[in-house]
Structure 1
Amino acid sequence: MLALSLVAVGTAGAISVSPGEVPNESQVGETVTTTVTVEDPFVDMPDEWTLQGSTELTNVSWTVTVRQQGEQVSQETFGEQSFDHPLNASNNGDTVIVEITGDTPAVDNYTYEPAETYTLYDFDTVQGSSTNDLNATAVHHYTNASKNARLAIDEAAAAVNESGTGQNDLDQAISAYENGNFENAESNAQDAVEAAEQAQQSSQRNQTILMGVGALVVLAIIGGGIYYWRSNQDEPTKLQ
């Protein structure tokens, strides 16, 4: 699963947001670190506004560094799942770098499609009572059991789509997955694969039989044609 990135400019149209490396997925409890860079925070923006950030990571640490032409102007750290950092054009720089580190949260609700995700970060611009979206990213999270079940369902879905058989078992696998019954999900997914494979084998046997029958029919037609031709060839001799 790819990370989902949403960017909304609103009144912050001139602000450039450059996300750092974001994982496609992360395991529950795994530590994740990424960096987001905000360029030109005061272009087409008020001289004073607040950068607001939030996350669903746990054990969070934010480091907000403001730079002016590469030189550090200020740095502040936050230890909660959200923060507010006021920015002022008179003493703040041209670049704001936000580094976030935290642990991947537990999955509250398993969904096969779309896959379950958590908010890695969500940034907003706040001006008085007005809040505008700046940038947000969601990442797929999993446990070993849920990942194994998802892989089994993926395999089953491919087999069912190819054969057109086993949909009921596949639906049961997905239902079990979304209820957190990963062992049952894997078992039902395997049943779907087996049903699909049996259908394919049966189809192949039927095709082989039909091909064999077709070949016999062709041979019979050819044989009949040869017999008829020979019979006609013999008729003048018999008349003499």
Structure 2
Amino acid sequence: MLALSLTTVGSAGAISVAPGDAPDEVRVGETVTTTVTIEDPFVDMPDQWTLQGSTKLENVSWTVTVLQQGDQVNQTVYGEQSFEQELDASSGGDTIEVEITGDAPPVDNYTYHPRETFTLYDFDTVQGSSTSDLNASEVHHYTNASRDARLAIEDAEAAINETGGNSDAEAQRDRAVSAYENSNFGNAESLAGDAQSQAEQAQQSAQQTQTLLMAAGALLVVLLVGGGIYYWRANQDEPTKLQ
């Protein structure tokens, strides 16, 4: 799946931004690489302006390549979490490619809803003292333990939804979420498993009750029919007073 890109074009005029392929989620410490392409950087824009970029990736490297009709005009590499590059129409350039590579950062604060995300990249245009959003992307990050706990909670929620809701299971699910958000992933996974079991047991109990009620109803019908037949036969066999 591709990460959703949040794009806002203010005074950036006719600039077109094509976000690169990026994962919807990534494990902490995993290396991520994506390329963002900026087309027509000087259409409805000043001849000189500044491109700003920032990220929460660690061990990051930016490679900014300016192209004119496919030919490289210049290329600059940056090694910090943010950069600024002056752009000048007189130097040429109808396309700017920005490749970013880095490692997914640790999670500062675990939240079940919404999912934990970090800024993969955030680009702005700067003209004098005016800064405008250009394009940004957020990506979910996780550890193996947090992912296992989240999946267990999701399974519990699915089981609860299938039963139409169960207060005991829901309370246990809430405890699992609380443990998750306190980074107690082993406990969260265990509590979520309990919640799922409670929901499934409640569903089985409801199904058994329904089966018993159906059986009792069927038995009642049989008894009523049998009793009716017996009564009818008894009345048929009994001689009337006229006889």
TM-score, normalised to structure 1, is 0.96
Aligned ranges for residues 108-119 of structure 1 at < 5 Å?
108-119=108-119
Match of 1:197 among 176, 197, 200: 200
Name the counterpart of 1:40: 40
Secondary structure of the residue aligned to 2:22 is: coil
AA of the residue aligned to 2:206: S
Name the counterpart of 1:218: 221
**Aligned mates of 1:162, 1:13 — CA distance in 2:** 50
Name the counterpart of 2:189: 186
State the Cα deviation string for residues 131-183 of structure 1 (Å, max 9, x = none): 10000000000111001101111101111122212011000000000000001
Secondary structure of the residue aligned to 2:43 is: coil
Are 2:2 and 2:22, in contact at CA under 8 Å, matched by a contact in 1? no
Name the counterpart of 2:80: 80
**Aligned mates of 1:234, 1:124 — CA distance in 2:** 100
1:227 aligns to 2:206 (yes or no): no
Name the counterpart of 1:127: 127
**Aligned mates of 1:124, 1:224 — CA distance in 2:** 86
**Aligned mates of 1:66, 1:236 — CA distance in 2:** 113
State the Cα deviation string for residues 96-145 of structure 1 (Å, max 9, x = none): 00000000100000011110000000000111111100000000001110
Are 1:2 and 1:140, in contact at CA under 8 Å, matched by a contact in 2? no
- Could you tell me how far 1:234 is from its partner in structure 2? 2.7
**After alignment, is 8-17 or 66-75 more displaced?**
8-17
Name the counterpart of 1:60: 60
**Aligned mates of 1:157, 1:195 — CA distance in 2:** 11
State the Cα deviation string for residues 180-224 of structure 1 (Å, max 9, x = none): 000110111011011111111111111111011101111111112
1:144 aligns to 2:141 (yes or no): no
**Aligned mates of 1:104, 1:141 — CA distance in 2:** 7
- 5+ residue gaps, structure 2, are none
Change (3 A) 1:2 1:175: farther
Name the counterpart of 1:15: 15
**Aligned mates of 1:219, 1:162 — CA distance in 2:** 34
**After alignment, is 53-62 or 11-20 more displaced?**
11-20
- Could you tell me how far 1:232 is from its partner in structure 2? 3.4
Are 1:49 and 1:126, in contact at CA under 8 Å, matched by a contact in 2? yes
Secondary structure of the residue aligned to 2:80 is: coil
TM-score, normalised to structure 2, is 0.95
**Aligned mates of 2:173, 2:2 — CA distance in 1:** 23
AA of the residue aligned to 2:140: H
Secondary structure of the residue aligned to 1:45 is: coil
Are 1:121 and 1:136, in contact at CA under 8 Å, matched by a contact in 2? yes
Secondary structure of the residue aligned to 1:106 is: coil
